[in-house]
Amino acid sequence: MADLTTNCGGIVSPNPFWLASAPPANSGDQVMRAFDHGWGGAVWKTLGTPIQNVSSRFGGLHYKGTKAIGFNNIELITDRPIETNLKEIAEVKRRYPKHAVIVSLMVETRDEWQDLIKRSIDAGADGLELNFGCPHGMCERGMGSAVGQEPRINERITSWAVEFSTVPVLVKLTPNVSDIVPHGMAAQRGGAHGVSLINTIKSIIGVDIDRMVLEPRVRGLSTNGGYCGAAVKPIALHMTAGLARHPDFNIPISGIGGIASWRDAVEFLLLGASSVQVCTEVMLRGYRVVEDMIEGLSNYMDSHGMKTLDDIVGRAVPSYSEWGELDLNYETIARIDPETCIGCYDCVVACQDGAHQCIYPGDNGARVPRIDESECVGCNLCQIVCPVPGCIEMVEVENGYPPATWNQHVATGAALRPKKGAH
Amino acid sequence: MSTTLPHAPLPADRAEAAEAFEDYKPPLSPGHAVVEANRCLYCEDAPCTIACPTHIDIPTFIRKIATGNIRGSAKTIFSSNILGMSCARVCPVEVLCVGDCVYNHLDQPPIQIGKLQRYATDVAFAEGWRFFEAGAPTGRSVGLVGAGPASLACAHELRRLGHACTIYEKRDVVGGLNSTGVAPYKMRADRSLEEVEWVLGIGGIEVKTGVELGRDLSFEALEAQHDAVFLGFGLGPDSWLEAAGSELSGVEGAVEFIEGMKLGTPDVSEVRRAVVIGGGNTALDAVRELVRMGIASVTMVYRGTEERMSGYAHEWKAGKLEDVKALWQRQPVGFEGEGRVTGVRCVKLGQDRQPIAGSEEVVPADLVLLAIGQGKLGELVSGLDGVTVERGRVVVGPDGATGRPGVFAGGDCANGGKEVVNAVAEGKAAAQAIHRSLGGN
């Protein structure tokens, strides 16, 4: 059995699965129930001056019969008194000393930061997370993503927090920026012990086409919210990997964004996250989802001979390269297994209309499509649309050309294979 | 301690190995399993789990199929039901988990829970996964009578708790009705034996076949040799219809006939018309099996009405689709023939269940199976202080305890004849009670 003990920026937990700062980590009762289900840590719902929320608050992106593949919210930070939260944090730490409680904070002035940091640590916080990410409501008040989008302010507030704190400080980054790297670097310069990313993405989840009002609707109006859930994972993976592979960025990452199963968590760990945070899947399915996450990760690690999280964290980062470093002479083509093909022709229409016109209806009425291998560019589209597992395989072709990247071609004139599909 | 399984080998040409007995609920492909698993609503306090006598955490095992954690899925199933592989095949899911799926209240079909359970457990068997280890030895030993599902589930649970186990089985074949009685289109004897070996893989369960309680082993000796006793000896032989001609060749007990088919190859080459007497699930299994054996005309003769038959409605519906005929409200009163049966003499019953005068008729048959119940074996223990036997059943409390200290019972001998999954639940509960009686927590 793999050892899942986690250390993310000095915050230690029995496993890498933390509740993200959000409704599931809103109260002591919830966090304790979550720990009973197996969660290794929890980032408390952001403390600050308690706010007043609207109803309604959440919206779901439903897609082809599947509910809430994406999700957004216009809820703000905690609406409960700071004293109540701190008292419950202390109670949780007293009862669950081995689990990580990270307190998320969002206030304005230096004095406020100092005061709330001290009180949080006095309550027993194992770490702090600075909420520089919230993309609605708080940013208009000069907090949340308004801080996260300004590297100088991020660095300054981070340095205050690090100065006042005796426990590790994570900075939660907003994805609502064109490049995540300057923002991660600002947190690092400020002295942060790690970063958490991503917070939610500015979004409009949908429009009620009969009322002609955005969702979620608050009387006759709505506003942009924060997008999250399974659908945001690719964006979060990109930002996580973007920091993890940067040569000057060297603090730990807590990965967030669309983690709904152990597989998603493995992807974040492979791309450099040393803990993961989950919110939406818990909101949709409950704390109980963590059992499969822990077991699935453990089974995965066992099957790959991994003993500790050190064996997995960052393992796929070296595979993230620049386009100019990819081998232009690597050639693949699609092969259809006639035994398993069911003759839907979805690959034919996808290739003809959406790709490079090399897949044709079968000869003499046969339902197994024919591939013109001399024109197939190896784009994968047919494999992506094929409904039959394993039916279309992308196979490597030996074309006699030694590997050559675009950068090598530009620098040294390395020979490139003839183009295919450029008819 | 060693595991021994001295069962008799199955003949390769037994009837159930023929193609006629292919699955009537074929397995899901991996792709279909994932699609079906993702349909599951992952209910909290799920009705399906409540409906399952072993309370398998069904939403969790299904979610694990959806996430690709098949190993974890199988572990979830076996943690609650060590015979989860056979139960996936033989459970009447239509009246248990699937029957209570919340999709039944929506305009969509319920989740195919049995098939998903079969998918996960089949992968586990194919991969050779094992999940449980024996507990630290307690120095206590338990004797179990009968090698069917109740005893197997009980023994496995007792081994996890560290108690040594010896199972005494009067037959040469282990596995109980899974091996000898369940319709082969649901569960073949070889799969049942494979499952028994997998269960015994925990180690420390000795199986002694050919040992019959009261014949080869006295109850006193059994009690003397063990710190506790579990009775899981099931039901007795087919009940017999005492009527003129019942001694004719071709009049057989249904359970005995099915056993012959699962463990061998009964000769039905001369049979054109078969009649099964009864309206319970054994009768339904028998008629469907006879159809698959190629018998041209198969008729069920039942004294009650279609609405009141005790067999499962979904099984009878399937039987009808397979061209099984039925004669309702018929009372067999004798058998025709010389040497070999040629027909069943019946009278019609009225709404008052009394014979209607002048209604006698002969239903032609060259094979007649009696599926009118099985004898109860309670008399094996009826003379013992503290053990109560009522109508042949061993009377037990909710945890399987009889009134005699250290003696527990479960499965058909106590419940009168229910499903495999009930036997597993009762065996497991009894194991916990035995553990407590031996001083465990």
**DSSP bridge pairs for B76:** none
**Chain B residues lying within 8 Å of A388, measured CB to CB:** 31
Write out chain A residues lying below 8 Å of B66, CB-based.
261
Residue A286: its chain B contacts at CB < 8 A?
A: 44
CA distance to partner chain A, nearest, from residue B30 (Å): 9
Contacts of A292 in chain B (CB under 8 A): 60, 63-64, 67, 69, 72
Please tell me which residue of chain B has the smallest CA distance to A259.
Answer: B67
- For B196, the domain range is 141-236+396-437
**Separation in Å, CA of B72 to nearest CA in chain A:** 7
Question: Rounded mean pLDDT of B133-142?
Answer: 97
As for how many domains chain B has, the answer is 3
Distant-in-sequence, close-in-space partners of B104: CB < 8 Å, separation ≥ 6? B110
The verdict on A16 and A156 lying in the same domain is yes
- Annotated catalytic residue A382: no
- Answer whether A292 sits within 8 Å of B75, measured CB to CB: no
Per-residue HEC secondary structure of chain B comes to: CCCECCCCCCCCCCHHHCHHHCCCCCCCCHHHHHHHHHHCCCCCCCHHHHHCCCCCCHHHHHHHHHHCCHHHHHHHHHHHCCCHHHHHHHCCHHHCCHHHCHHHHCCCCCCCHHHHHHHHHHHHHHHCCCCCCCCCCCCCEEEEECCCHHHHHHHHHHHHCCCEEEEEECCCCCCCHHHHCCCCCCCCHHHHHHHHHHHHCCCCEEEEECCCECCCECHHHHHHHCCEEEECCCEEEECCCCCECCCCECEEEHHHHHHHHHHCCCCCCCCCEEEEECCCHHHHHHHHHHHHCCCCEEEEECCCCCCCCCCCHHHHHHHHHCCCEEECCEEEEEEEEECEEEEEEEEEECCCCCECCCCCEEEECCEEEECCCEEECHHHCCCCCCCCEECCEECCCCCCECCCCCEEECCHHHHCCCCHHHHHHHHHHHHHHHHHHCCCC
Pairs of residues, one from chain A and one from chain B, whose beta carbons lie less than 8 Å apart: 35
Same domain? For A296 and A348 the reply is no
Look at residue B363 and tell me if it is in a domain.
yes
A263 and A338 co-located in one domain: no
- CA-CA distance, B295 to B291, in Å (whole number)? 5
What are the E-state strand segments in B129-176?
Answer: 141-145, 164-169
CATH number at residue A392: 3.30.70.20
The range of the structural domain enclosing residue A155 comes to 6-319
Best mutation site among B40, B69, B133 for testing chain A: the one with the most A CBs within 10 Å?
B69
Residues A165, A243 share a domain: yes
Q: Is B12 part of a structural domain of the chain?
A: no
Which residue of chain B is at minimal alpha-carbon distance from A262?
A: B67
B388 within some domain: no
- B67–A262 CB contact, under 8 Å: yes
Task: Give yes or no for a contact between B84 and B56, defined as CB atoms under 8 angstroms apart.
Answer: yes
Same-domain status, A132 and A187: yes
- Name residues 3-62 of chain B within 8 A of A (Cβ): 30-31, 38, 42, 44, 60
Is there a single domain that holds both residue A117 and residue A169?
yes
Q: Are B254 and B362 within one domain?
A: yes
| Whether residues A311 and A344 fall in one domain | no
Q: Do B72 and A299 touch (CB under 8 A)?
A: yes
My answer on whether B361 and B430 are in the same domain is no
Q: How far is A153 from chain B (nearest CA, A)?
A: 41
The answer to whether residue B216 sits within a structural domain is yes
Cis peptide bond prior to A198, omega within 30° of 0: yes
B268 with B364, same domain: the answer is: yes
Residue B430 belongs to a domain with what CATH number? 3.50.50.60
Note whether A172 and A311 are same-domain residues: yes
Identify which of A66, A285, A295 has the shortest CB distance to residue B42: A285
CB within 8 Å: B64 and A295: yes
Nearest C-alpha in A relative to B34: A389
Per-residue tokens: A93: 């730490």
| Same domain, yes or no: B252 and B368 | yes
Nearest to A296 among B30, B42, B67 (CB): B67
Task: For residue B153, give how far its alpha carbon lies from the nearest alpha carbon of chain A (Å).
Answer: 25
Is the per-residue pLDDT at B249 higher than 50?
Answer: yes
| Strand B389-390 to B393-394 pairing | antiparallel
Q: Which of A266, A282, A295 is the best mutation test for B, with the most CBs of B within 10 A?
A: A295
Q: For each of chain A's 423 residues, which pLDDT tens digit applies?
A: 899 999 999 999 999 999 999 999 999 999 999 999 999 999 999 999 999 999 999 999 999 999 999 999 999 999 999 999 999 999 999 999 999 999 999 999 999 999 999 999 999 999 999 999 877 887 888 888 888 899 999 999 999 999 999 999 999 999 999 999 999 999 999 999 999 999 999 999 999 999 999 999 999 999 999 999 999 999 999 999 999 999 999 999 999 999 999 999 999 999 999 999 999 999 999 999 999 999 999 999 999 999 999 999 999 999 999 999 999 999 999 999 999 999 999 999 999 999 999 999 999 889 999 999 999 999 999 999 999 999 999 999 999 999 999 999 999 999 999 999 888
- Counting the structural domains of chain A, the total is 2
Residues of chain B in contact with residue A288, where contact means CB-CB under 8 angstroms, are 44, 60
Residue B134 lies in a domain: no
In this prediction, the answer to ipTM > 0.85 reads yes
Asked whether the beta carbons of residue B60 and residue A288 sit closer than 8 angstroms, the reply is: yes
B286 shares its domain with B368: yes
Domain-located, residue B1: no
Last residue of a domain, one of A280, A303, A319: A319
- Nearest by CB to residue B64, choosing from A66, A286, A292, is A292
Tokens describing residue B399: 């945890």
